[in-house]
Structure formats: structure tokens, C-alpha cells
Amino acid sequence: MSSRLTSLLLALMLGSIVCTSVSAQRLSVESFIETADQDAVLPATKVIDPSDGKTPMALIKVQTTERGFIFETRLGNCKVVQKVGEFWVYVPRDIPRLNIRHPRYGNSGDYDLPTGPTRSGTTYRMTLEISGGRHVDISSNPSGADLFIDGESIGKTPVRNLFLGNGQRHLQARAMRDRFEIDTTLTITEGKLMNVDLQLHDITPLLGRVEVTVADNAEIIFRGQKRGEGSWYTDDLREGTYELQTARPNCDTAYTTFRVERGKLNRITANPPVPHTGYLNLFLRTRNVTISETNNKAYDPAQPLVPVGHYHFTFSRKGYLSEEQEYDVQRGQVVSDTIRLTPISYVKPTALYFGLGYTLSSLSGITATIGGVYRRHDLSFSYTIGLAKSGDVYCYDAGDLLQSGLTYKMNNFAIRYGYQFGLLPRLGFTPQVGYMRQQLTGSLISDIGGVKYGDGASASCFTVGVKILAVPIHHAYVFLSPEYAVALSKSADFEGAAKAGGFSVGGFNLTAGVLVNFELKKRKKQSL
């Protein structure tokens, strides 16, 4: 029984409080008159009744300095225009009453118009009265301060003719980048216009300087506003404890709580945003591979959990062809790949080459070579310019009369075919067969005769040999090519000159030199 009585008393007390708060401020009409103003029918200000599309609506000029009023008729189709110090309320004809509401000042109820139902094209004037408070003019020093009353933003000072209800009102004002402020209360009792002058205080001694830094150039957000990227400095934070946020795309926002001490530089290292992650599993089938990333993102195959984003890797190892791969890692996604580098084939199975060498033979010389390899089939052309001279050869006529004295050099043209074997990555072996044409050039011994016997004489040979390639650097070969030439045909002058000059037709020769090669096509990546 006592609990029921207690509940009843509480309900009565609550109802009393509600009634008191509602009746503390009351909205009412002080006066309502018909005027001779022509605004309701003037072309610039009249409004046509939408119900018939031709009749001007009646105009009620409601005089008040307050805002936020709601005007309603039984038809509900009134048009409200906010003016300085008043509302212009357009209503249809034959409206006998008007309802006025306000979220703070209450409801006037259905106000019966004392002049009778409204008439089309007529202008009226209404004055509102709000009881339970008073109008206030608020100024500040310095002026232009941001004013808050009971936590609600009012605007900048000075504020004129502001109605405040009776009771305690909490006033806050801040000016000059919040370096001047006041926090006070104001007691409102019903009466005439009240003037309030707020004297703001300089709070600079209470402020601290703050320097915030965060990794990865993340955004710094404080009090709901972006303040910088990577760093932020301010000198107007009051002593106390604060919280800021840091954010980046594809990251979870991080929060940092920090303390500001007055009169000091407070250096804060904020927590960086936590990146969203995925898995990048790279299985390296070639050992000791170096992984480089164009965006300077470190990657360790042993730690596949990585921040989301785009990755462009280059995989390399000495003696192997480098390989580039791109990956896009999404949040929570697993991306996998197997990397197997292709060993470099220094001895090219398909290439063009040219070079120079020295041919050691019975008449040695400089040899120029050009050729190509296609799928290990090697075809080359060479030309040897003779440098070494034969012994002196003296030619006599039938009567043993000396006709001339000569020395010989021998130029060779050869074409060879072979098949290339790669013994090691840097060592090749190419057995060869070919055709060689040898041709003599005779030079007179200056003081003997004038006839060049055997000059231009030639011989044809079949050759068999081998070309051994060593590769000191990627596109250069050092070669050694021993070869034996078997004479197929020879002119009588060639044979005679060879016997007399002490050199051979065909025979053994050895060429050593350098070749430069260019691969015709890249090897394809081996399938995984």
C-alpha cells in the first residue's frame, strides 16, 4: 500500500513540475488589427491563393524579434516569409482563427481573430507577447565573441532583443581565437529589457603549445576537423586532457589521448592508423633471390601478412634472368604465387654475332667473322687478311734466267656450319665443317724482276674443326677454333708457290679472338 502511495506522490510531483515548466513561459497575442497597408495586393508582394489560382491571399504581419515560430490554420495552407523583426503570414480568405507554436515558448492555442474571418487581399498586423521572461541585449569586450547560452550557439556579440525565460541561464563567450573567454550564469526575472555586458578574460597564460607528429603522413583529426597530414601545430589549447584521431585510406582509425600543460611545448607522437592487411604468399623455388619493390615496401616471404595495396616486385639473382611481377592485395584476401627464375644461357642458342681474331697457320693473318645461331645451328662466314710472309721465291725461265723474286701472303674466305653444345652456362662447344678458299697475293722483291708469278692463285679446301666458346661477360665470347683443311683443288701456280715459299695448301690452323653476340629473342618463363 505504501509503495502505491509513493508512486502516486511521485506522479503528482512530476506533473506539477511539468505544468510549472510549461506555464513558466506563455505565448499570447497582445494585439491584432486590420490595416490600410496594400502589401497583400501589390504585385511585388501579393500571393495568389493556390486553391482557386486567382484570389490574393490575406496577409498577417506578425511583429516579433524571435525566430522559430510555426503558424497554422484549419486548412494548413499558409505561406510564411521571414522579415526583419516580423513574419509575413499569408492565409486564405474566411479563416476565423490562427494557431501559433514555438518549441521553447509554447502554444498560443487557437486564437480567434477579433476582426472576424480573413478577407482576400486584406493586410493585418499582429503583435505577440511572451510572458515568463524578458528580452536581453548582450554585448562583450572584446566584441564579436561567439556566444553560447545553455550550450546553444546564439551567434556573435552584440546580440539584440533576445528573449530569455525566467531562471538561471548558463552563458559562455569566446573571442580572438578563443584566447579570451568568459563562463558565467545569468538570472532572468520577468521585466523590461535587460542589458548585459560580458567582460572576457585573457586566458593565454592557461594555454599550451602542441606539436603532433604521426608516421606515414596520416591525417590528423581533432574535434571533428582535419588539422594536417603527418604533423600539426597549435598554440591555443587550454591545459587539460584531449583526444585526437589519425586516419589513412585502407586503415583503421587510431586514437591518441594526450595531456597539455600550460606554458609549455607539448610534443605528441600520435598512434598511426592500423593498416588493413591481406596475405601475399610467394614461394621461391630459386634460392638466394633478391626481392626489390618499386614502392619501397619491404617484403619477407617468411611474413606473408602485408598491408593492402599494389605491389610491383623485381626478383633477381646473379646468373639468372630477372623477373617482374605485380600483385594487388585486398583486405583479408590471400594472394599466392610461385617464383622460379630461369638461369641465364650465356652461350646463346639463338643469336647473331660478329668479331675479330688472329689465325695462326703456315701464313697467319687477321680474321673477321660474322654469323648466327638458330636453335643451336651455327652458320658463320669469315675472311682472313694475310699478314705473315712466305719465304723468298725466285722464278726462272726455261733458260734459267731469273724473272722475278717474290714473297707471298694468303687471304682466306670460309663458310662453316656447326651445332652448338652448351657444356656449362659459360662454356660452349661447336663442332664445325666448312669450305675454305685460299688465295695468294704476291709482292715483288724490289730489286729483282717485274713479273708476279702465282699472284692471285687459289685453292679450295674442306675443313673440319671445333669452336670453343668461353663467356667472361654476358654478351661477349672469347673463342678458340682449331681446324684442319683438306685441299680439294689447287692451281699449279698455287702448288708451286707453296712448295717454293715453304707454306702449305690447307693444313692445320688455329684461330683465337673475341665475338660480340646479340640474342634474337628472350627465353620464355618456365611454367610453374
Q: Are residues 125 and 164 in the same domain?
A: no
Mean pLDDT of 242-263: 94
Report the C-alpha gap between 282 and 294 in whole angstroms. Answer: 17
Task: Supply the DSSP symbol for 237.
Answer: E
Q: What is the pLDDT of residue 522?
A: 54
Here the CATH number for the domain that contains residue 262 is 2.60.40.10
- Judged on CB neighbours under 10 Å (0-12, 13-18, 19+), 166 is middle
Q: What is the pLDDT of residue 342?
A: 86
Assess if residue 114 is contained within a domain: yes
Q: Are residues 424 and 508 in the same domain?
A: yes
Statement: residue 100 has pLDDT above 80? yes
What residue type is assigned to position 415 of the chain? I
Nearest to 124 by CA among 181, 78, 75: 78
Mean pLDDT of 413-436: 94
Assess if residue 482 is contained within a domain: yes
Predicted confidence band of residue 117 (pLDDT cuts 50, 70, 90): very high
Number of structural domains the chain divides into: 5
Q: What is the pLDDT of residue 11?
A: 44
Report the C-alpha gap between 93 and 90 in whole angstroms. Answer: 10
Predicted confidence band of residue 296 (pLDDT cuts 50, 70, 90): low
Q: What is the pLDDT of residue 198?
A: 93
313-370 residue pLDDT tens? 999 998 888 899 999 999 999 999 999 998 887 888 899 999 999 999 999 999 999 9
Residue with cell 602542441: 210
φ, ψ of residue 233 in degrees (nearest 5): -130, 135
Q: What is the pLDDT of residue 195?
A: 92
Collapsing DSSP to helix, strand or coil, 425 comes out as coil
Beta bridge partners of residue 183, listed in sequence order: 172
Q: Are residues 85 and 149 in the same domain?
A: no
46-98 residue pLDDT tens? 999 988 889 999 999 998 877 888 899 887 778 999 887 789 999 999 999 99
> Lowest-confidence range among 24-28, 139-143, 180-184, 415-419?
24-28
Residue with cell 580572438: 176
Here the CATH number for the domain that contains residue 181 is 2.60.40.1120
Assess if residue 425 is contained within a domain: yes
Cell, residue 376: 643451336
> Lowest-confidence range among 283-287, 342-346, 465-469, 499-503?
342-346
477-505 residue pLDDT tens? 999 999 999 999 999 889 989 998 889 89
Q: Are residues 263 and 334 in the same domain?
A: no
Q: What is the pLDDT of residue 25?
A: 56
Cell, residue 505: 695448301
Tell me which residue range forms the domain holding 168: 133-202
Statement: residue 260 has pLDDT above 80? yes
| Domain stops at, among 114, 131, 148 | 131
> Lowest-confidence range among 18-22, 135-139, 146-150, 409-413?
18-22
pLDDT: which is higher, 403 or 422: 422
| Domain stops at, among 182, 202, 222 | 202
- Asked if 433 and 464 touch (Cβ cutoff 8 Å), the reply is yes
Q: Provide CB contacts within 8 A for 521, sequence distance 6+.
A: 350
Collapsing DSSP to helix, strand or coil, 484 comes out as strand
φ, ψ of residue 40 in degrees (nearest 5): -70, -20
Percent of the chain predicted with pLDDT > 90? 60
| pLDDT mean across residues, the chain | 88
Nearest to 384 by CA among 489, 478, 453, 461: 461
| Domain stops at, among 297, 316, 339 | 339
Predicted confidence band of residue 459 (pLDDT cuts 50, 70, 90): very high
Here the CATH number for the domain that contains residue 369 is 2.40.160.20
Q: Helix, strand, coil: what percent of the chain each, to 5?
A: 5, 60, 35
pTM for this prediction: 0.45
Q: What is the pLDDT of residue 19?
A: 38
